[in-house]
Structure 1
Amino acid sequence: MNQLLAVALGGSFGAVVRFLVSSGIYQWLGRGFPYGTLVVNITGSFLIGILTEALILQRIAMTVEYRAAILVGFIGAFTTFSTFSLETVYLIEQGSLTKAALNVVISVAGCILAVWIGLLCGRTLFFYSEGIIQWSGGMFPYALIIVNTIIAFLIGIIATVLLQKVMLSLEYRAAIIVIMISAYLAFSGLYLVLFLIEHGYTFESNWNLMLSIFFGNGLLCLLVIWLGLAAGKQI
């Protein structure tokens, strides 16, 4: 039941973010080609590749529901094969055979390439000492923090799309962005804390290490989100 609730929660966030991102992309580039669906599918494919290494292959027993919420719920709802199929059929019915073929080729090849790149990034990050730097009395999960910053950069770009392209009131856009960034900072920091607990660290004995990594991850992700916002404005 806990996993079902986690998937439902992650799926609700994923569906909302997909709608906002795809709507922003369509308002930006138009509907002459299924750009919005293509962007969310390729982005989601990259995320599921890199997060498979970070969340599943590390096999942290305490975070089964956490992984289910992200991989099955959020990314499952964020990406959409059915919309891709429907838009391809519409292109065929409109006589745009070239666009339909292009959509199929770019979507399939692009998503497979994005998953492969994501897996390759994850495997590279966790190759050296399983993504951990250890010393007497402490450790630094550098690989997970790098994964967090990569996603933070994407969030910055997505937030730019929401700010500039989606036709919502300023209040709604501000609320969505604040909630999205706050939730990400909390969950990414929580996963790091769970990672430390899984490796034998406790709040009683290692509270300073846990707080340092939690808040350090938050500050770094905020900086990278800001960089993503700046980069998104140049697109």
Structure 2
Amino acid sequence: MTLDACLLVGLGGAVGGASRFMVSDAVGHWWGTRFPWGTLVVNVTGALIIGMVVGLARVYAGAFGSPQIHDLIITGLLGGYTTVSSFCLQTINLVLDQQTGLAFLNVIASTTLCLAAVAIGYFGGSWVASYGA
């Protein structure tokens, strides 16, 4: 990885993270926070945007297909905005490559393992914190 690539990913990640915060917060104010509407909107819009950028890159290989655009927008901006966009893109790529079994496995494994990891982390952290209190 080059210094230029690191700078592009860092710049995109900073903008993406700030964008995630602003969009999620705004949606929470509009629709409430009882259900994670803000996160859902961020994840869906991130998936939509990454699909559009990659779709454009497949048709218009020029600017959209450049490594710099990939580093800045896909890895940096959308990686900072939401990682679910990467997961969705990888799943669609498996389907496009006629690897539907692997695509299904990716959906089931990612959803199950990530939910389990959040639960383990949450309860493990709570347990550790309870001994420090």
TM bucket normalised to smaller: 0.5 to 0.7
Letter in 1 for 2:27: I
User: Is 1:63–2:70 an aligned residue pair?
Assistant: no
Of 10, 33, 40, 1:8 maps to 10
Which consecutive aligned stretches of 4+ in structure 1 deviate over 2 angstroms post-superposition? 55-63
Alpha-carbon distance, 1:69 to partner: 0.3
Kindly tell me the number of residue pairs found equivalent between the two proteins: 85
Assess if the C-alpha contact under 8 Å between 1:44 and 1:75 holds in 2. yes
Letter in 2 for 1:51: V
Of 64, 67, 78, 2:81 maps to 78
Letter in 2 for 1:53: G
Alpha-carbon distance, 1:55 to partner: 3.0
Alpha-carbon distance, 1:64 to partner: 1.6
Letter in 1 for 2:18: V
Assess if the C-alpha contact under 8 Å between 1:11 and 1:75 holds in 2. yes
Letter in 2 for 1:69: L
Q: Pick 1 or 2: higher relative contact order, CA cutoff 8 A, min separation 6.
A: 2
Q: Judging by fraction of residues, say which structure has more helix.
A: 2
Measure, in 2, the Cα distance between the counterparts of 1:80 and 1:10: 13
Q: Which residue of 2 aligns with 1:182?
A: none
Of 31, 50, 56, 1:54 maps to 56
Counting aligned pairs with the same residue, the percent is 35
Letter in 1 for 2:70: R
Letter in 2 for 1:64: P
Alpha-carbon distance, 1:57 to partner: 5.6
Letter in 2 for 1:27: H
Q: Which residue of 1 aligns with 2:39?
A: 37
Measure, in 2, the Cα distance between the counterparts of 1:52 and 1:66: 10
Letter in 2 for 1:25: V
Measure, in 2, the Cα distance between the counterparts of 1:2 and 1:18: 24
Q: TM-score, normalised by structure 2?
A: 0.56
Q: Which runs of 5+ in 2 are unaligned?
A: 93-133
Alpha-carbon distance, 1:66 to partner: 2.3
**What is the RMSD of the two structures over their aligned residues, measured on CA atoms?**
2.5
Q: TM-score, normalised by structure 1?
A: 0.33
Report the secondary structure of 1:60's partner residue. helix
Q: Which residue of 2 aligns with 1:214?
A: none
Q: 1:80 to 1:30 in 2, by over 3 A?
A: farther
Larger radius of gyration: 1
Q: Which runs of 5+ in 1 are unaligned?
A: 82-110, 117-235
| Per-residue CA distance 1:165-192 (angstroms, 9 max, x = gap) | xxxxxxxxxxxxxxxxxxxxxxxxxxxx
Q: 1:56 to 1:76 in 2, by over 3 A?
A: farther
Q: 1:25 to 1:37 in 2, by over 3 A?
A: same
